[in-house]
Amino acid sequence: MRIVNKTFTELAVGDVAEQRRLITQDDLYVFAVSSGNHNPMHLTDSDLDGDGKTERVAPGMFVASLISAVLGMQLPGAGTLYRQQMLNFHARAHAGEELICRVEVLEKLPDGAVRLSTTVRRVADDSVILTGEAVVDAPVAKFDCDALDLPGLIVQRHRHFEALLARARPLPALPTAVVCPDDAKSLDGALLAMRESIITPILIGMADRIRAAAIDIGADLTGIEIIDCPTDIGAATLACTLVNEGRAAAVMKGHLHTEDLLKPMLDKVAGLRMGRRFTHVFVMDVPGQPEPVMVTDAAINIAPDLATKVDICQNAIDLALSLGMEPRVGVLSAVETVNPAIQSSIDAALLSKMADRGQISGGLVEGPLAMDNAVDMGAARTKGLKGMVAGRANILVVPDIDAGNMLAKQLAFMSHAESAGLVLGAKVPVILNSRSDSAMSRLASCAVAAVHHFASGARG
């Protein structure tokens, strides 16, 4: 794209320029941050004016800024500076609407200024949003150059989790055995999911500590079943019993060590094993990504062998199908070619071939892939990689727990992702959160479990 201006001498009365702009919700968030105007009328789905409709009204000055864009980029273009802008607002614009901004030269003034009419209309019905006039200093020097390379902006919204929660809320509340929710965060996460009608919690652990945690967060436990159990292992064992009796359809980790939660589940008689290895999946909502990204296994299997990686792939594919995703598994290594000295590259190639032969089903599996050419189409093309996975992977199978943990935490703390954690391979979903996880992360984990439970049941 090139920027070409019109100098004062080139301008003529009647010159016209137009620009279309689709208003997105992210536009309104960016404007709120840059302007300091956090009026909820512009940012929420609330009905603050009582008209029975949700808001997300575009701020008037955001709409007016579209005029500035036309003046500064097209007519007169680069070098234009404002003297005056008069605005009359006739209607409101909203996120999701497309607007067209038009400016027309009305008069060239003796001192080098230009007077222009300014209009913004809604494309859908041609209704007028804004009218007015601008007086600007027109450029005197010609400018003809490529557009400036501006830094990109990513709004730290988690729209994928918002959509996931919207899917989970209408489902029947999932009876969930919550093991040792005796601290503020774990109890609050379970109660938040209950208030959202995603789970029905059964609280298992030291009853006095659970009630003390409830007092700390100001929560009312009336009507919620609490089963007193003096030890962490005992509480985890009791959760398995509730699942086997059909009273619970999911298990949620509270304030206990992961190994204490999983040990009773691995018992061959009273546990929750069903043939596959237990594997962990982070479902990550990374701002700017077009769909969720899964990272597996980053929490359970330390140095998985090939057989374990088969289950890691299959469990993740099954979860992706439940979430309505098209599973594209990128098996990661340090390189995208098979190197006999790098075991992860050999395993990746074998997993890819096993998928071709139907030993892993339900999704596409490709490897080895390096991280860049797994998720970036440009990097994949540079390396000459073809197929449906390279550059588009939405499931990242890591070589070992070190790589997985580092990748997941990098996405969380540097890319501002929210993560939902789930253990798969058991009879029921196991909701696994860390003690540092946010309320959104805990809520999303419950939503993933609920959607997976009901979707996998429907698939049989």
pLDDT (0 to 100) of residue 459: 63
Residue percentage of the chain with pLDDT more than 90: 77
pLDDT (0 to 100) of residue 124: 92
- 360 contacts 350 by C-beta, under 8 angstroms: no
Domain ranges across the chain: 2-146, 279-425
Could you report the per-residue pLDDT of 32-65, keeping only the tens digit for each?
A: 888 999 888 887 666 666 666 666 899 999 999 9
DSSP 182: -
Label residues 362-376 b or e (16+ Cβ within 10 Å = b): bbbbbbbbbbebbbe
Could you report the per-residue pLDDT of 150-209, keeping only the tens digit for each?
A: 776 666 667 888 889 999 999 999 999 999 999 988 999 999 999 999 999 999 999 999
pLDDT (0 to 100) of residue 155: 67
pLDDT (0 to 100) of residue 422: 95
Name the fold adopted by 279-425.
Isopropylmalate Dehydrogenase (3.40.718)
Whole-number Å distance between alpha carbons of 238 and 251: 11
Confidence at 144, pLDDT banded by 50, 70, 90: confident
- The tokens describing 135, both together, are 């007086």
- 332 contacts 369 by C-beta, under 8 angstroms: yes
- The tokens describing 220, both together, are 């009312």
Q: Please report how many Cα atoms fall inside a 13 Å half-sphere around the Cα of residue 236, on the Cβ side.
A: 23
Other C-beta atoms closer than 10 Å to the C-beta of 394 total: 23
Whole-number Å distance between alpha carbons of 398 and 367: 11
- What is the mean pLDDT of the segment spanning 301-322? 96
pLDDT (0 to 100) of residue 416: 86
Q: Minimal CA–CA distance to 397: which of 289, 306, 265, 261? A: 306
Secondary structure of 324-344 as H, E, C letters: CCCCEEEEECCCCCCCCCCHH
Q: Minimal CA–CA distance to 329: which of 301, 302, 303, 310? A: 310
Whole-number Å distance between alpha carbons of 420 and 323: 13
Residue 253 has pLDDT above 90, yes or no: yes
Name the fold adopted by 2-146.
Thiol Ester Dehydrase; Chain A (3.10.129)
pLDDT (0 to 100) of residue 460: 59
Could you report the per-residue pLDDT of 422-460, keeping only the tens digit for each?
A: 999 999 999 998 777 777 788 999 999 999 999 987 665
224-to-220, 241, 278, 295, 351 alpha-carbon distances in Å:
9, 19, 29, 34, 45
pLDDT (0 to 100) of residue 228: 96
Could you report the per-residue pLDDT of 94-140, keeping only the tens digit for each?
A: 988 999 999 999 999 999 999 999 999 999 999 999 999 999 999 99
Beta bridge partners of 252: 178, 431
Region class of 178: left (phi > 0), else alpha (psi between -120 and 50), else beta = beta
- DSSP-derived secondary structure for 27-73: HHHHHHHHH----GGGT-S---SSSSS---BPPHHHHHHHHHHHHHH
- What is the mean pLDDT of the segment spanning 221-238? 95
pLDDT (0 to 100) of residue 48: 64
DSSP 264: G
Residue percentage of the chain with pLDDT more than 70: 95
- The tokens describing 407, both together, are 């990748």
Q: Given the structure tokens 């093309």, which residue do they identify?
A: 381
